Amino acid sequence: MSQRIDIQKTYKLFIGGKFPRTESGRYIKWTDKKGTTVVNICRGSRKDFRNAMVSARSASNGWSSRTAYNRAQILYRVGEMLEGRREQFMAELTLQGLTNKQAENEINQSIDRLIYYAGWADKFQQVFSRVNPVSLPYFNFTLPEATGVVAAIAPDDTSLLGLVSIIAPVIAGGNSIVILASESRPLSSISFAEVLHTSDVPGGVINILTGYRSELIEHFSSHMDVNAIIYCGNNPDDQKLVETNAALNVKHVIQFPLQDWSNDKHQSPYHILKCQETKTTWHPIGV
Amino acid sequence: MGTINIQKTKSIDQVNTQERVSRLFSRSIKKESKMQALYLALSMIDLTTLEGKDSEGKVKQLCYKASHLHYKHPGLPYVAAICVYPPMVPIAKKELAGTGINVASVATAFPSGMADINAKLDEVKSVVDAGADEVDMVISRGRFLNGDYDYVSDEISQVKDACGKAHLKVILETGELVTLDNVQLASDIAMEAGADFIKTSTGKVSPAATPPVVLTMLEAIRDFQIKTGKKIGMKPAGGISTAKQAIQYLVMIKETLGDDWLSPNLFRFGASSLANDILMQIMKQSTGQYQSKDYFSID
């Protein structure tokens, strides 16, 4: 039998449940530690982000109006699908510099995190809702509701765990998200999109872009249709830019400086609450 | 009207039409020219509300929007017309007094056209009496598809007479005409019977305005002008909701009919959500930031 030809994977973007190439036609050569070019990664553009935002916005209502239980089921399903693709993620994570042991840990924790937030998806609303005592003839209650569309700059130092830790609480809370994957370790993000694709996550709820932070952060933070922005990183200029641009339409700003994403503090229902709006209702009752 | 001779119309090459559409639509219009196109497209809109649940309040709101498109951006044009159901004409007429914006009313048993000819003519007369500047009629598609072209033609010319000074737009409802040949034939019949505008769709049937259909109608208008010297207007309607689509149609019209048609006098968009998308694009061009629907008035 003749020698087989290598089949190399094309890493594309994930927008609206589809895998388009960047509209700009640009790419980034991704090299391993030895400097060998391994794959070409899409260099996402401002317009890719715009398209992703349109998808995220149109998916947002449908997702937030699903039952919380159904969102929980879908998140659990993402965990299941990730479990079934261990080998692929092992290969990619080690290629991106992790040891076998570290890679295994990262996959385990990513799955656990998805299952953790799947559990909270239909519980946080009860836990964080409350009845307020008012001295008027009203039944007064407060509950959290999805903010809408979240734009996020994923942590750069982890390929999978950081991405999952940002996405899971956001969508558990009924938001849709556009996330820019790690610039230096982008491989697992697009493979994770394949996991999402087979997990009944409706198209547009999660959109994953690859590309340069420096190029896209301006657009992520200034887009008027973004309701909350998550920034992971320590660059003071970026932090300032995000805060300044967020003021244009008063986006929520959530910053995560460089940190260890394997820490248990990243599993908390309070992370879901970060991308929620508080709604208080005054319901008239008899005097 | 004389008998329509269907032999004279040449057959439409569907593949070629599709090819030409995709070529025209791949043109890239940027910066200065994009801004100009956006302004022009705004001024060509027939801001439309044609729903069973339309109310006086909704029509008033739409009329206000027609002349106050976006307060944050001064210098915007007005839309060309408001398009409503007959009972709403007096309200729209009153609201738009002094703005120069026309009131268009659908008539002739819109959207099906299934009514007696006398009932249709009465409806047309009543909307014109109520002050409608433009009448959008529908053709009898059932009769057309049966080959009863004389009936269709006579009906249009009678409606035209009933219109008096009001402009007549003839809706072909191309989604029900099946083939491009039929679209061309219906366009010819309408233009010869006295239409001032031909219009693709009611917006109630899918597909509505598709690019090959619009191109076929534009070419029919061009041929009619060559033959008779008369300039007939065009109005694609239904399914045009983005600024990008609007600009693509402007390219198509410029390339097919020339600059004379780049004016609200001869070209209109029938749309309800298009205006806001164009406004968002204009704001994007002038501020550099992508916009959100949250900051634009609902019409």
What are the sequence ranges of the domains in chain A?
27-284
CB atoms within 10 A of CB B254: 17
In whole angstroms, how far apart are CA B214 and each of A49, A90, A198, B72, B144?
31, 54, 40, 34, 19
In the predicted structure, residue B44 carries a pLDDT above the cut 80 = yes
Residue B107 — φ and ψ, nearest 5°?
-150, -175
Q: What percent of chain A has pLDDT over 70?
A: 99
Residue A27 has pLDDT above 70, yes or no: yes
**Does position B8 have pLDDT exceeding 70, yes or no?**
no
* Site of tokens 């509209």: A23
Q: What is the pLDDT of residue A14?
A: 98
Q: Which of B288, B290, B294 sits opposite A50 (nearest CB)?
A: B290
* Residues of B labelled catalytic: 136, 199, 235
Nearest to A52 by CA among A17, A15, A18, A19: A15
What end-to-end distance do the CA atoms of chain B give, in Å?
42
Over residues A85-106, mean pLDDT? 95
Task: Kindly indicate the confidence band of residue A55, based on its pLDDT and cuts at 50, 70 and 90.
Answer: very high
Chain A residues in contact with B290 by the CB 8 A cut-off are 50, 53, 219, 222-225
Q: Do A224 and B295 touch (CB under 8 A)?
A: yes
| Residues on chain B touching A50 (C-beta within 8 angstroms) | 290
Q: Which two tokens stand for residue A161?
A: 């765990």
Q: What is the DSSP letter of B109?
A: S
Task: pLDDT band for A229, please (50, 70, 90 cuts).
Answer: very high
Rounded Cα–Cα distance for residues B294 and B299 (Å) = 13
- The alpha-carbon gap from B60 to the nearest alpha carbon of chain A, in Å, equals 28
**Residues B164-207: tens digit of each pLDDT:** 999 999 999 999 999 999 999 999 999 999 999 999 999 999 99
**Is the predicted pLDDT of residue B6 greater than 60, yes or no?**
no
At residue B298 the predicted structure's pLDDT band, cuts being 50, 70 and 90, is confident
Q: What is the pLDDT of residues B84-127, one digit of tens each?
A: 999 999 999 999 999 999 999 999 999 999 999 999 999 999 99
Average pLDDT over residues A115-137: 96
pLDDT at B230: 96
Burial A204-226 (b: 16+ CB within 10 A, else e): bbbbbbbbebebbbbbbbbbbbb
* Averaged confidence pLDDT in chain B: 94
Which residues of A are less than 8 Å from B294 in CB distance?
224-225, 249
* B116 touching chain A per CB within 8 A: no
What are the chain A neighbours of B291 within 8 Å (beta carbons)?
224-225
Confidence of residue A286 (pLDDT cuts 50, 70, 90): confident
The pLDDT value given to residue B1: 46
Say if B28 is an interface residue toward chain A (CB within 8 Å). no
pLDDT of residue A15: 98
Domains of chain B: 6-295 (3.20.20.70)
CB contact B294 to A (< 8 Å): yes
Mean pLDDT across B143-154: 96
Average pLDDT for chain A: 95
Burial class (CB in 10 A: 0-12, 13-18, 19+), A245: buried
pLDDT category at B293 given cuts 50, 70, 90 is very high
Cβ distance B292 to A222 less than 8 Å, yes or no, reads: no
What integer pLDDT is reported at residue A127 of this predicted model? 96
The pLDDT value recorded for residue B105 is: 97
What architecture is domain A27-284? Answer: 3-Layer(aba) Sandwich (3.40)
Please give the C-alpha separations between residue A184 and each of A47, A142, A239, B247, B263, in angstroms, as whole numbers.
Answer: 22, 42, 19, 39, 52
Per-residue DSSP letter, A45: -
SS3 B290: coil
Residue-wise pLDDT for B222-270, tens only, equals: 999 999 999 999 999 998 999 999 999 999 999 999 999 999 999 999 9
